[in-house]
A and B are shown apart, each in its own frame.
Chain A
Amino acid sequence: MDVTTPVQLVYQRPTALARMPTHYCPGCTHGVAHRLIAEVMDEMGIREKSIGVAPVGCSVFAYNYFDCDFVEAAHGRAPAMATGIKRLLPDRIVFTYQGDGDLASIGMGEIVHAAARGENLTVIFINNAIYGMTSGQMAPTSLPGQITTTSPAGRDVEEMGFPIRMAELLAPLDGVGYSARRSLHDPRHIRTAKKAIRLAFEGQQRGLGFAMVELLSNCPTNWGMTPLESLRWLEEHMLPAYPVGDFKVAPVLAELRI
């Protein structure tokens, strides 16, 4: 039987992503995170009322890649800047996008207090255990023994302390409505990461307090690996140290079926 089958469009680039090639290294999961956020913005129809706060780090030019309003923060200060915006424009969706240096090092004060205050913000935290933009120094999330340019003999916990698990750290704060960690290293984890990002934006829409999704990500260039090798390294080394999971879920969010 000759049947002309209609064509289904299974996937196309989200409209909330600007038509701009990124400067990220080939295979860097920043791009996956950006794409997932853009897909969520499209699905929730929030592009026109979204305001993003870009960090200092590889994603300093994030404002070029999303088709929504954006501001650029000083290093670590995005949660404070986002607070200023959200307090004046409470009906907008205000989100920050931060790396491990920006959020967990210089910005530790700002993120903890924004979380403690229960600011209705969405924070997307890209944890790749290294400083990318400045070419590979140790991050607060670098693993024990990890070789970086400022831990050339490998991170010695006696001298340089221990990695910080941010999703766990913020969860006990009463102002936090959602704190979760996901990973971007394989299709299954990317799918669950998208759901978590969606919940984090839904949480803001519903006024459920501070919402953060920590996304385990790669840095092929500064880890000294190919993109594919870096995803295997992430799976093998980062997942045990940074378990994927939900550390705080407001009851309303837990009931959402996405």
Chain B
Amino acid sequence: MPVRGWIEVDELYCKGCELCVSACPQQVLSLDMTKLTPKGYHPVNLHGEGCTGCAICALVCPEAALTVYREAAPRAARLAAQEV
């Protein structure tokens, strides 16, 4: 089962340039056309499931607008739980 990831987009920085949209291997990013940042850009966000927390979006982001999280891998979590 793939690891579940998610991102946070800081709308102070995101300029809707779409570099991350194109780079995302899961194709789960798109500009949110219903929203505008304080500077008037459409910020990016996840649409739907599928983010693995690979952080390629953050790698290509020119504004360092993205914070990437993921759940720790299930096997590691089970091992950790066993040790407790």
Give the interface size bracket for B toward A: 35 or more
The residue that A5 contacts in the complex, of B39, B56, B60, B71, with Cβ under 8 A, is B71
The residue that A11 contacts in the complex, of B13, B18, B41, B68, with Cβ under 8 A, is B68
Report yes or no: A3 in contact with B78, Cβ–Cβ below 8 A: yes
Contacts of B5 in A (CB 8 A): 10
Interface residues of B (CB under 8 A from A): 5, 10, 12-13, 15-19, 22-23, 39, 41, 53-56, 58-72, 74, 77-78, 80-81
What residue in chain A is nearest B66 (Cβ atoms)? Answer: A11
Report yes or no: A31 in contact with B63, Cβ–Cβ below 8 A: yes
The residue that A27 contacts in the complex, of B10, B18, B39, B64, with Cβ under 8 A, is B18
Compute how far the CA of A190 lies from the CA of B59 in the bound complex, rounded to whole angstroms: 7
User: Can you name 23 A-B residue pairings with CB atoms under 8 Å?
Assistant: A3-B77, A5-B77, A6-B71, A6-B80, A7-B69, A7-B71, A8-B69, A9-B69, A10-B68, A10-B70, A11-B55, A11-B67, A13-B10, A13-B65, A13-B67, A26-B62, A28-B62, A30-B62, A32-B62, A35-B64, A190-B60, A226-B18, A228-B22
Give the interface size bracket for A toward B: 35 or more
